Structure 1
Amino acid sequence: MQGAVLFLVLLDAMSGSEALHLIQLPATSNVTENAPPETSVHKFSVKLSASLSPVISGFPLIINSNPLTEAFRVNRLSDTDFEVVTTGKEQLDFETGPKIFDLQIYLKDDVGTTDLQVLTVQVTDVNEPPQFLGNLAKGQDLYIVEGANPGFIYQVEAFDPEDTSRNIPLSYFLVSTTKSFRMSADGTLLSTTEFDFEAGHNSYHLIVEVRDSQGLRASTSLQVNIVNINDEIPRFTSPTRVYVIPEELGPGTIVANVTAEDPDDQGFTSFLLYSITTVNSYFMINQLTGTIQVARRLDRDAGKLRQNPTISLEVLVKDRPFGGQENRMQITFKVADINDNPATCTTFAFSILVPERTAKGTSLLDLNTVCFDGDSEAPHNQFNFTTPSGVGSSSRLLQDPAGSGKIVLVGDLDYENPSNLAASNKYTVAIQVQDVAPPYYKNNIYIYVLTNPENEFPLLFDGLPYVFNVSEISPAGTRVGQVRASDKDFPQSSIVYSISTGGASLQYPNIFWINPKRGELQLVTRVDYETTPIYILRIQATNSEHTSSVTVTVNILDENDEKPICIPNSYFLAVPVDLKVGTNIQNFKLTCTDRDSSPRSFRYSIGPGNVNSHFTFSPNAGSNVTRLLLATPFDYTGGLDKNWDYNLLIYITDDNLLSSRKKAEALVETGTVTLSISVIPHPTTIVTMAPRPRITYQILKKNIYSPSAWYVPFVITLGSILLLGLLVSLIILLAKAIHTHYPCKTWKHKKPLMKKGGMCVWCLSPLFAAVVIYLFVYLFMLVLLYYMKGLQLGRESACNPVLPK
């Protein structure tokens, strides 16, 4: 210090002037440690000459210090008054820093006069409160991740400047009142709860106080910040979950706007991604905005939407493209029906065939069963019908009830009614089917009612009773008569005639045939009065629905169409040459019958061969039995007779003498009998006569094979096959015997039965046996065949005498 003072005096002497110098300097002053900035250390003044100008700006100033420090500076109080104050740039610590500072204060005016003085500053010790280390003294920002478990957060550290050994403990306190934090006595800051950034407490301001043993204290602030992490799922903010939209919206139409927010991004623009997880083809969603649009046409009246108009979608929102938090929301679209389909019918033209006798009040057509509206919901799918209109329909056809579409018959459709015929029995009804809701679509329906005539009247035969006469000699195809039936129905349907019963015989199942269209009865074959004189026929007439029957009597008129038949038909007689005239020759008589003539109608006559009229019949008419008499004697001696053998052809004629018909109209049938008469000469008479003719008998034999004897060729064929098989098997056995047997064995006398080189008898025995069996079977088959053939042969022989001419 003495050196420093000496230096200042030397400078003053060197200046050679006392016009400018520092007052109150040199001096010694005190300042407490850790004094705050701008703490006054020492005040001094500058003494100036009256003729001198003020001190140059910037002076006085501290140009040097020992030790060097920037803890002090000079503040100007006025033009001549100055003050040394602390700057706060360096901490004045008594315990750790210099305790004395020598400050050199330099002064200079504008003419170059200078002065230099020394100010000694002594740092005085004070009892300082504890101090926080580092930046903690100014406050500290702390960060805690939300969701972290309660526990250690930060270790607060402070020191007591008075305690250089650091052995005296300090006490720490948490001044702030909070339940979320606590502090231990050693300065450990702990959390007592789990923090949630989204709950609203995202930062906490804490005051921490430290105290020393003297009760001095210091405090600092801690700003605890809760660090937000992505731990919250996005939340949907759009309140609507069910949307009702009309059908037929075009693709691209916006139907909903789904919005969401991310609690982790409060106050910031959330970056969320939207998608639809439900598989559907009706809607699509904008990934960034959440806008839902129609992807394809919505037709409420077709497909699945007609069965269920509700479409449920699950919307997924994510806060990261990959991973992160997500949330889902179910939204439902109800597709509402609109009246976009007109009422339609399976057909718009109906043809109804109504029987003419249909009762009034009968329902003819219910249009509700064939008409429909494609819309799904009422009233869009509801419709009604207008009042029927049309020519001739108003008095016959109505809707009951009105507008119901139920067409009911209220008039008469009788086909035989002339007034209905005038209308051609065809009625046209026009009806409109229309929606009950706007825009009231309409369609025209045309109903054509046709009257179906019914066969309501029975068939009636005209000209009853039916009795027809036909001659038994009428040929096949002869018209017997005609039946006729009438029908009062209009229009009249065709009538078919047929014979239901009657008109059959043992030989012919159908004697008569009737024309099915005209009713004409005709003969199929000739009839026979003698077999069936009367036929009772049942003839029926049939149209589409009715059948009527009538009895027809056919009387067969008797005709003389049968020849007399006599027994015997041919005979041989021997007449003695001397037979007396009038004698019945060998008591021969003819017995004749005629199915259609009286026995008294027969006449007998002898045709050619009755030479000299030797023979006659008695009676020759009026009886069915007559005898052969000798009418004239034979005269061979006189040469009158030369024939000894007579061949007589007898004619039997039925004159129908008792018939009630006129003689001219009567028919005559003639039968014949052949008589061969041989005159036997007297034994004593020598007669010269031609050789006596011989009677030659022709025997006709005819073989007839019965088709029913099918078994004859079958047995023959089967027997042939069996014989052939037997023969083949025997040959095979013989071949085996020849090749397998050794040469003939000798008898006990060791002599062979045949010579060497020949075949033994025993070796040939199978062959002999086979031949014998084959011949036996063959003969048996021949006998059997002959026997069966004899059974199947029919023998038909006729023995006719053939006399020479």
Structure 2
Amino acid sequence: NEKCNCTFLFKFAGGGTLSLNGLPATGNVTENSPANVLVYTFSVTLSPSPSQVASGYPLIINSNPLTEAFRIDPGGTHTYKVVTTGKPVLDYETMPTSFDLQIYVNDTAGASDLQLLTVQIIDVNEPPVFRGNMADQSKRIAWKHTAYNLQCDSSLILFLLNSYLLNITVTDQRGLSTTRTVIINIINTNDEAPYFTTVYRIPEEMSTGAVVANITAKDPDYQDRISRLVYSINPPNTHFSINPLTGIIYVATRIDREAAPLRLHPNISLVIRVEDSPSGGQTNEIEITVIIEDLNDNPPECNLYTFRLETYETATTGTVLLDLRTYCQDIDVEPTNNEFNFSGLSGLGSNKFTLEPAGSGRVVLTGNLDFENPANLLVEEYTLTVVVQDIAKPYYANNIYIYIRIIPVNEFLPVFNSSSYVFNVSEITRAGSSIGKVSATDKDLPFTGITYSIVAGGSTPDYTNVFWIDPNEGNLKIIASLDYETEQKFILTVQASDTEKLTTVTINVLEVNDEPPVCSPGSYTLSIPVGLTVGTNIEGFRIVCVDRDSSPRAFRYFINSGNMNNHFAFSPSAGSNISQLILASRFDYDNGLDTIWNYKLRVYITDDNLLTSTNRATALIETGTVMLSIKVIPKPTTTVATTPAITLLISTENIYSETAWYVPFLISIGSLLLLGLLGYLTFLLAKYIRTHFTGKMYEFNSKSGARRWKDTKEPGIKGPAAQLISNATTDSSNGKDQTGTPKLSPVNVIINKNLEAEQVCFIVQTEQAAKRKLL
């Protein structure tokens, strides 16, 4: 770390005991040491004896600063050596003078240990050395004479076109020197590769598209002219992208310091390649390290946020009831981002409890809980609230609720109001009669009741029990006959006992993810220029979501519809309750790839609930929705295609609606009633016709009062009546009556007023007649 020199040591406990002997320690090695030079020796102790060091261990899991100059070789039984690798060469003048190596070991039983070895580089006085061929380096030496002392002898200088003859002496600080004569010919050829000048470090959770570094290179061949340099990352890295023309490195995807492998190795190595053009094609590469710094972006989280405890009323002061720290953690990596404390103890009875020591999360009893103490309220359950909070900004916090139930203790025995009772009872007292009452009191609180029983006495040769006592009230009764001559006195032993038959049923309520995310704003209208830079947060827009039953890290964002050509995205897309809308790809209206200027985005926000659900396979996922309207503003010279004018003709059509269900229902009911009425009327008509029209003539003698039905074929019926009756059509069934006369069709009855005074006859008329005839 460039800002502070800090070392973090972690020890991991497994199934046995494992330790690195001889560490932590400090080792020394001289500069420019070749490969396989011994730096330090240490050993490993294992317990129990059957366990063995796991394959590939021990190993160097990290170094500060990063280096590959050291490795661990086996040196014997459970003995190991730290030696040099020769790559890179340890140069005291150009490299750090010390390295902190974190050595980690793991055995087959699951135990592990981690220790620190500090390696110091020892400086050795060496004479200056001209590296390589002086002719090859002469041009760089002449142009960059900052590292050398040029001593020129005028008698040796030969001026031939662009050539120089120089005596060069180099001297170190301790007086050792070397001199060499160099002839310099100035030739302008493309033999210089560009070189890099800067490296960077960034914090985690930078927005996608944010600038990480501006990697610049220079081309010595084109000091006064423009040389096009092309930049690339080789091989490509998922977290970063580079502008090939400017060398600016951007964040390509979300970087989470807490996720593997960045949690243990926060350094990302990038190989940046630069190539010059238009001629020569010289390239250069440099490996830079981007250090991902930890941010306090995670709140402290606990396995439980509600605790139910029980303690006896006789618990003593100083009793530790609960240690909250064992249930909580913060997944941030670096101190103080992953540190938190507990505070804000409040609630009913909080004066009887405290957090000791302050901020530790240890809930300790400090007051008296005795129910029988007059100074205490008769409280059987205390409700406390404790706040778990980060100690670093932005001070994330959560509430923890603690319910402490006080269990009564049976400290006192019941005491009778009198040491003895005397009752006088007549021997003729009937069975079932009450003869007296005993009573006792109990100082225990809360009062749970007293039970009375006869434990001795009260029997005769004829009766096992002569007396009965009410177990709740203490009333004493006779249940058998008394005989003075047989028994004059009974001595009963009555026991009063307090009841303590208690049982506890604990019901745990499991969380179901039944609350959908609620996001603000629910809908929004945005405008962006067509040339907006990719990766830019659009108008600073962001979504803020809350969910009553999910962690803030359980949200995921995706655009369900309207995102034509995938121009828009959210960053981060998951793991936070706050997300920003960014431009993910540029617009291309000129080539026809894009034709839409107004976008309607439907955004779904889901809570996968992975952190709080115990059974992820059956975990429910709820979804929230946000609607976004985005208008792309074209350049002033851009012609936006418009839709020709359209005249809308609106016609009204009677379409059945499910809400008008009663209309067909009423029509159906009315039709059925009407059909029923018509059927009933038809039935009455048919019955009437069958009953009243028989085809016979009814004859009535007004003088004698005789009445009869007379067949129309009988003699005596003459004239128009007989003629009319004979013209009546016969029944279609050709049936005959009892006399053999064909039956006539139903007819109407008409009174014949022209008959003799002594007779009033009813004549029939066929229904087929076109006109009615009155006889």
Superposed pair shares fold, TM > 0.5: no
TM-score, scaled to structure 1? 0.30
